[in-house]
Amino acid sequence: MTTATAIWTRRHILSLMDFSVTELDAVLQTTTSLRDVLFRRMKKVPALQGQVVTNMFFEPSTRTRSSFELAAKRLSADVMNFAPGSSSLSKGETILDTAKTYLAMGADIMVIRHQQSGVPQAIAAEMDRINSGVSILNAGDGLHAHPSQALLDLFTICRGLDPENPRCELLRGKKIAIVGDIMHSRVARSNIWSLTTAGADVHLAAPPTLLPEGFREFATDAAGSLKLHWDIEPALKDADFVMTLRLQHERMTAHLLPSLREYHQRFGITGDRLKFCQPDVKVLHPGPVNRGVELASDVMDHPALSLVSEQVTNGVAVRMALLYLIGSSKANGSLN
Ligand code: NCD
């Protein structure tokens, strides 16, 4: 972990677009060490003792919010949770003023989720402008980015390939299919950045209404490759991992699909479809899952096929790693 903290210079984690392989490996290495803590009898380390982490979720969330909270507590930080419905936002306070209120109470790290793309960036810019020293961790903004989710996906995939030493180079030559509502997915965008930087061959598959041509521009100079498919079979053929995505009804502004039944027939991940993939293929989903729509229930619950629960466990460890890297580098004064 010392080498990982030594290379870490980011005050904020807003997107993975400009993450280097060295930084991705630093996250994987730190996560591997901290994941062990979760399985000890004493599941806590004093790394962030005395630091204040505020969880500011302006949009609903189960696993991301709870796992950031648990991760901060496992590192012995003090955690404040913010819920928009019961806050002064409902009295007209701006989001920046809410952030400044937490700053005045001594917040060191703010974890922010917002339905609009760009809100965590805007808060980070203001916090830097006033020289606050606060770190912002983007926990999902609009359609833009969800870095901690993509990092937990990266960790889960690499750990599946080498549990002792998960690292980016394991992804060279591996085929990863991402299937589903790509257009509305910040998870897909963040995963395209990290997986292609790490060297994987990423294949996107969705109906044309959910996979615009513009996605080709996402990984132009990455070590890995990116291909788009409007049929599922070429994407699944010989895939090592299949990542399914939820149909995000709340973000769809038009009727983009004839019916959920038709979508399942053409793009749903079923046991039969997985026969196109490598025999030891594994399936991921960030959750929440629409069972029987993007993913068949029996695949989701299949212990040899599904990494869904493993993703949730790893989510706590990855978020501990992100808080740890930022928190300890802050204490060393080594942040940009
Ligand atoms: C994702 C999100 O919120 O973007 N979920 C998550 O964080 N686990 C994906 C989704 O909502 O479908």
Instruction: Spell out the domains of the chain, with CATH numbers in brackets.
Output: 2-145+313-332 (3.40.50.1370), 149-307 (3.40.50.1370)
Give dist(CA 300, CA 297) in Å, integer.
Answer: 5
- Structure confidence at residue 90 (pLDDT): 62
| Per-residue pLDDT reduced to its tens digit, 240-250 | 999 999 988 77
Q: What number does the ligand 1 atom closest to the CA of 181 have?
A: 12
Tokens for 81, please give them: 């949770």
- Residue written as token pair 């790893």: 314
Buried b (16+ CB within 10 A) or exposed e, 209-221: ebbeeebeebbee
Preceding omega of 166 cis (within 30 degrees of 0): no
Tell me the CA–centroid distance for residue 182 and ligand 1, in Å. Answer: 12
64 φψ region: left (φ > 0), alpha (ψ -120 to 50), beta (else): alpha
Torsion of CA 329, 40, 155, 334, to 10 degrees: 0
pLDDT, position 84: 76
CA distances from 137 to 4, 56, 57, 141, 225 (A): 18, 10, 11, 11, 28
Q: Per-residue pLDDT tens for 288-301?
A: 999 999 999 999 99
pLDDT at 293: 92
Residue of 187, 284, 295, 314 to test ligand 1 pocket, by largest number of atoms within 8 Å of CB? 187
Q: What's the rounded Cα separation, in Å, for the pair 208 and 28?
A: 34
269 DSSP 8-state letter: B
Mean pLDDT by 10 residues, the chain (336 residues): 84 96 97 96 95 94 94 97 74 83 96 95 96 97 97 98 98 97 96 97 96 88 93 98 89 74 93 97 96 95 97 98 92 72
238: Cα separation from own chain's centroid:
25
* C-alpha 37 to ligand 1 mean position (Å): 26
Report the pLDDT value the prediction gives residue 118, as an integer from 0 to 100: 96
pLDDT computed for residue 273 by the predictor = 97
User: pTM value?
Assistant: 0.96
First to last CA, the chain: 19
- Distance in angstroms (rounded) separating the CA atoms of residues 132 and 147: 23
Structure tokens at 190: 């963040």
Closest residue by CA, ligand 1 atom 1: 286
**Ligand 1, CB within 6 Å, residue ranges:** 63-64, 140, 146, 149, 186-187, 246, 248, 286-287
Ligand 1 nearest atom to the CA of residue 62, by list position: 8
Distance 128 CA to ligand 1 centre (A): 28
pLDDT at position 253 is: 62
Query: H-type helices in the chain, by residue range?
Result: 2-7, 21-37, 63-74, 95-104, 119-129, 147-161, 186-198, 233-236, 260-267, 297-300, 308-332
Lookup result for tokens 């060191």: 108
Q: Which residue CA neighbors atom 7 of ligand 1 most closely?
A: 64
Indicate the angle between helix axes 147-161 and 308-332, nearest 10 degrees. Answer: 110
Burial category of 328 from C-beta neighbours within 10 Å (exposed 0-12, middle 13-18, buried 19 and up): buried
Tokens representing 235?
């994407």
Query: In whole angstroms, what is the distance from residue 183 CA to residue 90 CA?
Result: 31
